[in-house]
């Protein structure tokens, strides 16, 4: 074993907000007991000031208080911001803020192999079989460990190793967390879930639970590091108090489900409500855990919302008793379920913390927050090379985006009886009117989920360029291209609705079908803004006359 005086160890410590209360005892106990003869340097990520911040072996790094759960979920992002400084040390170790060293820890604690990540067995899962352990089981998370796999369950509060090994893990965890967030999922135990996934596939050494053991628990192993009870310091709620903490009364939660068009309506309604009531927006994306008809697609936009977890969301229907108790007793956040597809005035007058469940398909829900919505719906991802070329073409010529929605509107009997489809005559009349009103010859960019049908059945008196090749995973690229056109002819589809709404051309002409739903369905809707032009959809109007 290398002599302690010949190596340097960096201690990574996050104590934003009121978590600074743990620092003094942590620092003093670590200096006394953790590798006592080895030089240690402390990197303290905090928005607070403390007595030792000017000490030669302490570096204070200002860290904005991100609130919970981001203070823990984003810790690897924090560490990698100072990667160059950390890489100068031989070893890196992270300790939870409420760790307290109770007994000397010698150099034997370090992993014998520099490629091994050092982890600590979780004290609450010592004797469990892998299928009983609280791994992340959802396949859409990068932290997923399926049933039938797994070995040890390790805790997120103490881990480390050789600097190269730890930084390699930190980068992997950061990238996995970012990819999850893009896809609308947060692992059940945040960074700890990603740690468990990582150690399953990489060299590691496991230390016993006495190196991360909760105070007041009965211990069967030698206690080295105690996890202080947060209730002695005011509890989680007090310690996490901050303007951005995910507490129920501070949040507006909106259920996200369906395709991209539906998701944009739900997000816009939730964001406008959160903005009006000075709350933070949280998204419930659990629909996508079990339904893969459409992917969660908001990650490609500049949204700013928490992705809800089981600890920040109200109970779901799987826990029937808790769900009914929450729903029937009107507990916070109060459930506000959409009554119909017409504008629901309750959303404009409600003031408290709510859980919004519905489609919310009307501009009236967010008209007062238009600039904010537009900023959030800017695309943050880069168009593919092929789509970038199309975008440049669109910008250089007068253009009309024509969107033809068929798909399940044709193949699914229930969807067809509700929505119907727009006739070829509808699209052709709309394009002709744009040409006539502007007096300019346009190029039609044709978008459809059934391009072959659209090409065969639609005849326009101008150049037509079908846009094909994008799928549901890249739907945002179609949306970007459509909204870049000079004018829009939309189908009875929320997807093309948003392309028209997001079009920033002040002189744009938008044509929408007179009947968003089949007249025979009896469904009313406030989806089409008054400023848009409406054309009677001949196929739906014929059905109305025949009824």
Tell me the DSSP string of 330-385: TPSSEEEE--SSS--THHHH--S-EEEES----GGGTGGGHHHHHHHTSB-SPPPH
Element (H, E) at 223: none
Residue 277's contacts (CB-CB under 8 Å, 6 or more residues apart) are 252, 351, 352
Contact indicator for 227, 96 with CB cutoff of 8 Å: yes
Q: 455-464 — which CB contacts under 8 Å span 24+ positions?
A: 457/424, 458/402, 458/404, 458/424, 458/427, 458/428, 459/424, 459/428, 460/402, 460/427, 460/428, 460/431, 461/431, 461/432, 461/435, 462/431, 462/435
Beta strands in 147-250 (DSSP E): 154-162, 204-207, 213-214, 225-227
**How confident is the model at residue 539, as a pLDDT?**
53
The vertex-541 CA angle with 540 and 543, nearest 5°, equals 65
Retrieve residue 297's tokens.
Answer: 């697609």
Contact indicator for 500, 532 with CB cutoff of 8 Å: yes
Q: How far apart are CA 246 and CA 313, in angstroms?
A: 10
Per residue in 423-435, pLDDT (tens digit) is 999 999 999 999 9
Q: How far apart are CA 212 and CA 199, in angstroms?
A: 17
Closest CA to 473 of 392, 365, 384, 402: 384
Q: 37-40 — which CB contacts under 8 Å span 24+ positions?
A: 37/4, 37/5, 38/4, 38/5, 38/7, 38/8, 38/9, 38/107, 39/5, 39/7, 39/8, 39/9, 40/8, 40/9, 40/10, 40/11
Give the CA dihedral 84, 85, 90, 96, nearest 10 degrees. -110
- Cα 263 to Cα 270, 284, 287, 314, distances in angstroms: 11, 11, 12, 20
**How confident is the model at residue 546, as a pLDDT?**
30
Retrieve residue 82's tokens.
Answer: 């100072």
Q: Is 192 tagged catalytic? A: yes
Total-model pTM? 0.89
- In the 8-state DSSP scheme, what is residue 57? T
**How confident is the model at residue 477, as a pLDDT?**
96
Q: How far apart are CA 320 and CA 332, in angstroms?
A: 17
Partners of residue 251 on adjacent β-strands: 280
The C-alpha R_g of the chain, in whole angstroms, comes to 28
- Residue 217 region, left (φ>0) first, then alpha (ψ -120 to 50), else beta? beta
CA 227 to chain centre: 30
Q: How far apart are CA 142 and CA 164, in angstroms?
A: 22
Per residue in 248-281, pLDDT (tens digit) is 568 999 999 999 999 999 999 999 999 999 999 9
- Name the burial class of residue 313, with classes exposed (0-12), middle (13-18) and buried (19+) by CB atoms within 10 angstroms of its CB: buried
Residue 145's contacts (CB-CB under 8 Å, 6 or more residues apart) are 135, 136, 137, 196, 197, 200
Retrieve residue 59's tokens.
Answer: 């570096």
Q: Please pick, among 192, 338, 363, 477, the residue that the annotation labels catalytic.
A: 192
**How confident is the model at residue 466, as a pLDDT?**
96
Retrieve residue 547's tokens.
Answer: 């009824």
Contact indicator for 500, 522 with CB cutoff of 8 Å: no
Q: How far apart are CA 189 and CA 179, in angstroms?
A: 16
Secondary structure class of 1 (helix, strand, coil): coil
**How confident is the model at residue 424, as a pLDDT?**
95
Closest CA to 211 of 35, 22, 1: 35
Residue 82's contacts (CB-CB under 8 Å, 6 or more residues apart) are 43, 61
Query: Which residues in the chain land under pLDDT 50?
Result: 1, 242-246, 540-547
How many CB atoms neighbour CB 113 within 10 A? Answer: 12
């Amino acid at each position: 074993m290398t002599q302690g005086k010949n190596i340097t160890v960096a201690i990574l410590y996050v104590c934003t907000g009121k978590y600074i209360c743990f620092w003094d005892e942590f620092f003093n106990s670590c200096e006394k007991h953790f590798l006592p003869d080895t030089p240690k340097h402390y990197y303290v990520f905090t928005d607070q000031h403390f007595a030792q911040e000017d000490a030669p072996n302490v570096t204070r790094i200002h860290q904005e208080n991100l609130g919970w759960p981001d203070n823990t979920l984003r810790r690897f992002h924090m560490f990698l911001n100072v990667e160059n400084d950390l890489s100068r040390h031989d070893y890196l170790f992270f300790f939870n803020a409420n760790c307290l060293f109770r007994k000397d820890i010698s150099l034997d604690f370090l992993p014998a192999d520099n490629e091994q990540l050092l982890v600590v067995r979780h004290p609450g899962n010592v004797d469990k079989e892998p299928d009983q352990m609280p791994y992340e089981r959802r396949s859409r998370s990068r932290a997923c460990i399926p049933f039938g796999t797994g070995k040890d369950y390790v805790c997120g509060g103490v881990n480390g190793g050789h600097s190269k090994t730890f930084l390699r893990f930190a980068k992997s965890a950061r990238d996995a967390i970012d990819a999850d967030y893009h896809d609308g999922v947060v692992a059940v135990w945040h960074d700890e879930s990603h740690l468990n996934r990582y150690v399953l596939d990489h060299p590691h050494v496991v230390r016993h639970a006495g190196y991360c053991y909760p105070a007041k628990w009965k211990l069967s192993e030698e206690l080295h590091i105690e996890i202080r009870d947060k209730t002695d310091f005011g509890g989680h709620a007090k310690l996490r108090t901050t303007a951005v903490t995910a507490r129920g009364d501070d949040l507006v939660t909106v259920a996200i489900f369906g395709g991209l068009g539906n998701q944009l309506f739900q997000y816009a309604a939730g964001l406008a409500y959160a903005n009006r009531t000075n709350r933070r927006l949280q998204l419930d994306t659990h629909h996508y855990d079990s339904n893969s008809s459409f992917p969660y697609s908001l990650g490609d936009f500049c949204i700013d919302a928490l992705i809800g977890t089981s600890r920040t969301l109200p109970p779901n229907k799987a826990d029937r008793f808790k769900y009914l108790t929450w729903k029937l007793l009107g507990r916070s956040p109060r459930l506000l379920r959409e009554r119909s597809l017409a504008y629901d005035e309750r959303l404009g007058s409600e003031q408290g913390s709510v859980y919004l469940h519905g489609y919310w398909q009307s501009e009236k829900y967010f008209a007062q927050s238009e600039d904010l919505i537009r900023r959030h719906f800017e695309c943050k991802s880069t168009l593919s090379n092929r789509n970038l070329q199309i975008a440049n073409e669109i910008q250089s010529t007068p253009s009309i985006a024509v969107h033809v929605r068929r798909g399940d509107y044709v193949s699914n009997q229930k969807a067809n009886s509700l929505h119907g489809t727009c006739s070829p005559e509808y699209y052709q009349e709309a394009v002709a009117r744009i040409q006539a009103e502007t007096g300019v010859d346009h190029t039609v960019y044709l978008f459809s989920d059934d391009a072959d049908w659209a090409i065969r059945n639609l005849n326009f008196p101008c150049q037509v360029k079908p846009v094909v090749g994008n799928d549901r995973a890249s739907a945002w690229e179609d949306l970007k291209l459509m909204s870049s056109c000079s004018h829009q002819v939309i189908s009875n589809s929320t997807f093309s609705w948003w392309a028209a709404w997001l079009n920033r051309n002040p002189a744009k002409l938008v044509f929408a079908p007179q009947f968003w739903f089949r007249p025979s369905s009896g469904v009313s809707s406030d989806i089409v803004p008054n400023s848009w032009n409406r054309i009677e959809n001949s196929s739906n109007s014929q059905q109305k006359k025949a009824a």
